[in-house]
Amino acid sequence: MAKINVMPKHLAELIAAGEVVERPASIVKELLENSVDAGADTVTLEIRRGGISYIRISDNGSGIGRDDIRNAFVSHATSKIKDADDLNSIMTLGFRGEALASIAAVSRVEVLTAVKGDPVGTRYVTEFGEEILLDDAGCPCGTTVTVRDLFMKTPARMKFLKKDVTEANAVASAVDRVALSHPEVSFRFIRDGKQTLMTSGKGDLLTCIREVFGKEFASGLIECSGEASGIKVGGFISKPQYSRPNRNMQFFFINGRYVRTGTGSAALSEGYRNSIMVGKFPSCVLNIEINPSLVDVNVHPAKTEVRFSDEKPVFSAVFGAVKSALDRGDTRVQVEQVSSPYQSNKPYNFPVKYTDKPKVPDEQLKMKTGGGFLRMSASEFGNGGASKKEESVPSPVPFRPKTTLTANAPDSLPREGAGIDSADDILLNSPSPVSAPASEESPVSEAPQPINSEEFEEEQFRLVGEAFMTYIICEYKKKLIIIDKHAAHERIIYERLKNNEGERTGQMLLSPVTVDLPKDEYSAVTGNIGIINESGFEVEDFGSGSVLVRACPMELSPDEIPDIIAEIAGRFVEKRQDVMFEKLDWIFHSVACRSAIKAGNVTSRLEMEKFAKQLLSMPEIRYCPHGRPVLIEMTQRELEKNFGRIQ
């Protein structure tokens, strides 16, 4: 066994710093919290290069006295608690006395601070944990902390930092959260010389939400308040029709501190049960006021996780407040609770805006040409209104990025709602799609490799019908077959996307769709544009939280674009660590799921028949991409045994 050494102070500090200071956003969060704790009502933050080279935070709070300044930088030195009992009544954002020491260990720090009434202020400078200067300074009452050269001496940490823009977006999200939790403080954020946020500090939460997330988001909210068992809940929740495909716009605060709380989130979802579709999530900005002795904030180094001594009353308080807000509002959209999240009812999804749509001649809409069953889209399968175009959604023109024309592709395929006649136009075994009307120069390309198919025995097949507008029932080779039409279609589309590497076809939109995203999702999307475009989208960074979608995979109905981009963005945020092929794979999942015919959509008999035959001739397609079976079968013998006809 090697000898045990006591670490030198600096090394111990460096290791401790790793827990608190992960990236510029964590520094910003800590410094903003210090300003709030110091009673400031005006705080200005400025960063350069994502905060890696420069962060400055100025406040007009209490300031730090000359006698205290060295201690402020000592680990476990705090003015906020004195003894163990105080841990039960924490109302400040800081309490560990750890932040400044940790920040100082990994950067160059300069503090200018003055306490009201003191004749002169203080300038204190440290470099990577070492004191460099302590001197007089003429400065206004309050504190300015400047952090430079973060992680310069800890290259291992530096390696984990993302691109400047990603770090800057993470900083912006940190500012948003502190600003939302303290509407009584005016926050100003300057990013590379440009002011990107300014809250008025009026104390009104809705105004603050509008300042942080914009008018559109704020106008989709309803007020929510309530009290139960001494726990107060107050804030805003989204109208049901403004739900999102993930939880990224749920903000919970406990006694003014941003936290992630599974209890709060579960209570919120429960409150919306029957009001929004399964698979959709509400947004919220909710503050929970609770006796601090009933909540432990000392669970996680970042202080963003909490433990309640009893979760039930917290759940009840949030649930009650949400439920009564939804009941009160006349905004409620009743949606039947369904077992499948893939229903055709499509609510509006915040935050999205569309660009103007030019008039598209009908012929152009018909230009989409089908390439075999694998190309069948939900609308072609049999419409149920699932893909009806909304007025504001631009219409597609098919395009093909790499390949162009297939030898025997037909000229046109009627789109949705074409009824029974159209089923014959669904080209079950024809080659891949084409980009545009045939042109002389268009080179002939290979059709994508179809999934292995086997001889279909026509005379052994009979369509029985459909149950619950979801399951196609047929007889085949003396078996009763029940097909989940959504799951089966989804898997087929998924396979096509996956197998057509380098051939993924997109449809060019006549007018691009602008999708506005929350900051972290925006940064996740812009950081992964290559992967998204690999899957048949054509997405570009539009700046200021927006991306522009010029094309989407052929299978996808363009009115799904805002939702699917938000969904993909959410996954990127959640699954940062996934490698490229995993990311691509779940983009295919999302596209397939959204493009497939939905349970509940009307399907004609002819369409069902075509679909069933196609599926039965593909023995490899027996599970959906999520691993659920796409069909179940029962032999005639099993059936007869069940009815006691045979033993």
Ligand X SMILES: Nc1ncnc2c1ncn2[C@@H]1O[C@H](COP(=O)(O)OP(=O)(O)OP(=O)(O)O)[C@@H](O)[C@H]1O
Taking the complex as a whole, the smallest distance from the CB of residue 289 to ligand X amounts, in Å, to 20
Q: Using an 8 Å Cβ cutoff, are 535 and 552 in contact? A: no
Binding mask 522-541 for ligand X (x = CB under 6 A): --------------------
Of 99, 284, 447, 539, the one binding ligand X (CB under 6 A) is: 99
CA proximity to 109, closest of 130, 138, 93, 95: 130
User: What are the two backbone dihedrals, phi and then psi, of residue 437, each rounded to the nearest 5 degrees?
Assistant: -55, 145
Which of the choices Mg ion, ligand X, none does residue 486 contact, using the CB cut-off of 5 to 8 A by kind?
A: none
| Coil vs helix vs strand at 474 | strand
Q: Which residue is nearest to ligand X (CB)?
A: 94
Burial class (CB in 10 A: 0-12, 13-18, 19+), 401: middle
Using the contact rule CB under 5 A, the part of the chain among 31-39, 44-52, 478-486, 623-631 near Mg ion is 31-39
| Coil vs helix vs strand at 290 | coil
Q: Which residue is nearest to Mg ion (CB)?
A: 94
- 98 or 466, CB closer to Mg ion? 98
30 near ligand X, judged by CB under 6 A: yes
- 99 or 170, CB closer to Mg ion? 99
Taking the complex as a whole, the smallest distance from the CB of residue 102 to ligand X amounts, in Å, to 8
Query: How many Cα neighbours within 13 Å face the side chain of 635?
Result: 4
Of 26, 34, 126, 186, the one binding Mg ion (CB under 5 A) is: 34
- 53 or 298, CB closer to ligand X? 298
Taking the complex as a whole, the smallest distance from the CB of residue 91 to Mg ion amounts, in Å, to 14
Using the contact rule CB under 5 A, the part of the chain among 34-42, 160-168, 261-269, 462-470 near Mg ion is 34-42
Whether omega for the bond prior to residue 351 falls within 30 degrees of 0, making it cis, is yes
- 253 or 537, CB closer to Mg ion? 253
| Coil vs helix vs strand at 263 | helix
The secondary structure of 458-472, three-state, reads HHHEEEEEEECCCEE
Q: How far apart are CA 70 and CA 43, in angstroms?
A: 23
If binding means CB under 6 A, how many residues of this protein chain bind ligand X?
22
Using the contact rule CB under 6 A, the part of the chain among 32-40, 122-130, 558-566, 583-591 near ligand X is 32-40
Q: How far apart are CA 245 and CA 563, in angstroms?
A: 7
Which residue type is seen at 62?
S
Which of the choices ligand X, Mg ion, none does residue 80 contact, using the CB cut-off of 5 to 8 A by kind?
A: ligand X
* Alpha helical stretches, state H, 38-137: 69-72, 99-105
If binding means CB under 5 A, how many residues of this protein chain bind Mg ion?
3
- 91 or 632, CB closer to Mg ion? 91
Taking the complex as a whole, the smallest distance from the CB of residue 158 to ligand X amounts, in Å, to 22
Cβ atoms within 10 A of the Cβ of 180, count?
A: 22
Rg of the chain over Cα atoms, rounded to whole angstroms, equals 30
| Residues 440, 444, 448, 454, Cα dihedral to 10° | 110
Taking the complex as a whole, the smallest distance from the CB of residue 43 to ligand X amounts, in Å, to 9
- 38 or 599, CB closer to ligand X? 38
Binders of ligand X among residues 104 to 143 (CB under 6 A) are 143
Binding mask 95-124 for Mg ion (x = CB under 5 A): ----x-------------------------
Alpha-carbon torsion (84, 87, 88, 90), positive or negative: positive
Q: Using an 8 Å Cβ cutoff, are 561 and 515 in contact? A: yes
Taking the complex as a whole, the smallest distance from the CB of residue 7 to ligand X amounts, in Å, to 20
Taking the complex as a whole, the smallest distance from the CB of residue 552 to ligand X amounts, in Å, to 46
Cβ atoms within 10 A of the Cβ of 368, count?
A: 21
Taking the complex as a whole, the smallest distance from the CB of residue 99 to Mg ion amounts, in Å, to 4
CA proximity to 114, closest of 70, 72, 74, 59: 59
Of 46, 59, 484, 567, the one binding ligand X (CB under 6 A) is: 59
- Which residues make Cβ contacts (< 8 Å) with residue 461, sequence separation at least 6? 474, 475, 476, 612, 613, 616
- 79 or 500, CB closer to Mg ion? 79
For residue 551, the 8-state DSSP code is E
Of 49, 66, 80, 260, the one binding ligand X (CB under 6 A) is: 80
Q: How far apart are CA 76 and CA 33, in angstroms?
A: 17
566 near Mg ion, judged by CB under 5 A: no
Taking the complex as a whole, the smallest distance from the CB of residue 391 to ligand X amounts, in Å, to 51
Of 50, 61, 121, 553, the one binding ligand X (CB under 6 A) is: 61
Cβ atoms within 10 A of the Cβ of 193, count?
A: 7
379 near ligand X, judged by CB under 6 A: no
Using the contact rule CB under 5 A, the part of the chain among 30-38, 274-282, 352-360, 559-567 near Mg ion is 30-38
Q: Are strands 284-289 and 631-635 parallel, antiparallel or unpaired?
A: unpaired
Q: Quick one: the chain helix, strand, coil %, rounded to 5?
A: 35, 25, 45
Which of the choices ligand X, Mg ion, none does residue 38 contact, using the CB cut-off of 5 to 8 A by kind?
A: ligand X
- 19 or 411, CB closer to ligand X? 19
Q: Using an 8 Å Cβ cutoff, are 164 and 52 in contact? A: yes
- 35 or 343, CB closer to ligand X? 35
Binding site for Mg ion (CB under 5 A): 34, 94, 99
Q: Give me the residues that bind ligand X (CB under 6 A), please.
A: 30, 34-35, 38, 59, 61-64, 72, 78-80, 94-101, 143
